[in-house]
């Protein structure tokens, strides 16, 4: 059976079918929450922001499902919300402290090798400079195209392409060498 496009689910929800929300939620919960968590770090703030962003996107009638994809809209709203939250948080804790907090594994590493890899990957992501981390997250979690990211950030598509190349190479370097952002 063909999968119902996100845009149709949004239209159905706005037309009074709350069950459409469940399908949208399943598609985006891990991607959106993961994006917010990687951007903000703190769990409590991420929980509230996740809820606010989801509701805001569904409520906002300026998004017309007939005219554009849902994912870029969702992640554009998420990005703006995360940046606003970061600005307000910056006065309380420095970005460096948060990056260090993210570098620390949240659970004691177990014998599972995959868990070790996940922690290593998270550390490398956390060590990336924020603009680069954001690009990789938008590409990977948001599944946005170069063009969509360029539209979201207001820069040329070629610029996004070269920045994303640099970000990907920096991420891989961190991953293999286990270095810090200072080396980039």
Interface residue with another protein, options 64, 83, 88, 165 (CB under 8 A): 165
H helices of 4-112, where?
A: 6-14, 19-40, 43-59, 70-90, 95-103
| Residues 65 and 10: beta-carbon distance below 8 Å | yes
Stretch that binds another protein, among 61-69, 71-79, 86-94, 136-144 (CB under 8 A): 136-144
| Residues 125 and 133: beta-carbon distance below 8 Å | yes
Minimum CB distance to another protein, residue 74 (Å) = 14
Residue reference for tokens 């891990």: 30
Stretch that binds another protein, among 17-25, 69-77, 87-95, 96-104 (CB under 8 A): 17-25
Between residue 36 and residue 65, which ones bind another protein under the rule CB under 8 A?
Answer: 37-38, 46-47, 50-51, 54-55, 58-59
In the 8-state DSSP scheme, what is residue 17?
-
Between residue 103 and residue 122, which ones bind another protein under the rule CB under 8 A?
Answer: 117-118, 121-122
Residue reference for tokens 């659970």: 107
The C-alpha atoms of residue 165 and residue 158 are separated, in whole angstroms, by 11
Stretch that binds another protein, among 31-39, 64-72, 78-86, 90-98 (CB under 8 A): 31-39
Minimum CB distance to another protein, residue 176 (Å) = 8
Interface residue with another protein, options 77, 82, 85, 137 (CB under 8 A): 137
The C-alpha atoms of residue 63 and residue 7 are separated, in whole angstroms, by 10
| Alpha-carbon radius of gyration of the chain | 18
Residue reference for tokens 């845009």: 7
Q: Which residues of this chain interact with another protein, rule CB under 8 A?
A: 13-14, 16-18, 21-22, 25, 29-31, 33-35, 37-38, 46-47, 50-51, 54-55, 58-59, 117-118, 121-122, 124-125, 136-137, 139-141, 145-146, 161, 164-165, 168-169, 171-172, 175
């Amino acid at each position: 059976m063909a999968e119902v496009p996100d845009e149709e689910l949004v239209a159905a929800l706005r037309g009074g079918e709350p069950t459409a929300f469940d399908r949208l939620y399943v598609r985006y919960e891990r991607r959106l929450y993961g994006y917010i968590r990687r951007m903000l770090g703190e769990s409590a703030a991420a929980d509230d922001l996740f809820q606010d962003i989801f509701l805001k996107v569904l409520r906002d009638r300026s998004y017309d499902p007939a005219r554009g994809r849902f994912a870029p809209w969702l992640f554009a709203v998420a990005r703006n919300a995360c940046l606003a939250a970061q600005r307000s948080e910056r006065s309380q804790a420095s970005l460096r402290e948060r990056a260090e907090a993210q570098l620390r594994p949240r659970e004691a590493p177990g014998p599972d090798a995959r868990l070790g890899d996940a922690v290593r990957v998270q550390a490398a992501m956390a060590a990336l400079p924020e603009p680069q981390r954001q690009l990789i997250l938008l590409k990977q979690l948001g599944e946005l195209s170069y063009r969509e990211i360029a539209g979201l950030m207001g820069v040329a598509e070629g610029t996004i392409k070269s920045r994303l190349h640099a970000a990907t190479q920096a991420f891989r370097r961190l991953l293999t060498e286990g270095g810090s952002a200072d080396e980039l």
